[in-house]
Chain A
């Protein structure tokens, strides 16, 4: 049973607009969440993380929002750039799982100029 779900396999956005990628989780023991970006033929690259004690974390153009009651997090990219076109993975961590990350299946973002 998937504990981390990214229900949108793909998202298309115009350059300069906001990209919003969503992620839902089912395990209430998750207390740390991460977003990774992956280009073809490369490994995932860490983007941003958030601890469950926060509801927002910003890093430049990237902001992650966490809604614990809804078990939902989202990644906002503003403004979107063509170089942001990649697969974005949401991942979660729980104390009992040690350092193992539980990943969603990814959302492919396409930013057109």
Chain B
């Protein structure tokens, strides 16, 4: 099985712009979670989607949003980019979205905001 894929792998944007990141989970997986990794804060949970519904949300401002499609692919959008949004954005998928199920991570999208 192919692993979790994320596109694009690298992205440079300027402040005030918006960005959309994409995540394709492992085939058959229905849960997709997004995490932000920064040197200062480490890995932080953004939100989780399951069957096209946001089921869980971390402590991030409303500029961060997401959605999931019927094929379980997910997108994350960040509007009005700030310098502090520069980070590695990781998505993770799991089969049934049960809490103690292993989450498999993609390679991430590295976003640089100038």
Q: A residues touching B (Cβ–Cβ < 8 Å)?
A: 32, 34, 36, 41-46, 49, 51, 89, 91, 93, 95, 97-106
Q: Interface residues of B, CB < 8 Å — how many?
A: 27
Q: Which residues of B contact A103 (CB under 8 A)?
A: 35, 42-44
| A41→B90 CA distance, assembly (Å) | 11
Q: Which B-chain residue is minimally distant from A42 (CB atoms)?
A: B107
Count, A-B residue pairs, CB within 8 A: 64
Stretch in contact with the other chain, from B61-69, B70-78, B92-100: B92-100
Q: Which B-chain residue is minimally distant from A98 (CB atoms)?
A: B56
Name which of B45, B58, B107 has the most chain A CB atoms within 10 A of its CB. Answer: B45
Q: Which of B45, B90, B104, B107 contacts A100 (CB 8 A)?
A: B45
Q: Which residues of B contact A45 (CB under 8 A)?
A: 105
Smallest beta-carbon distance A101→chain B, Å: 7
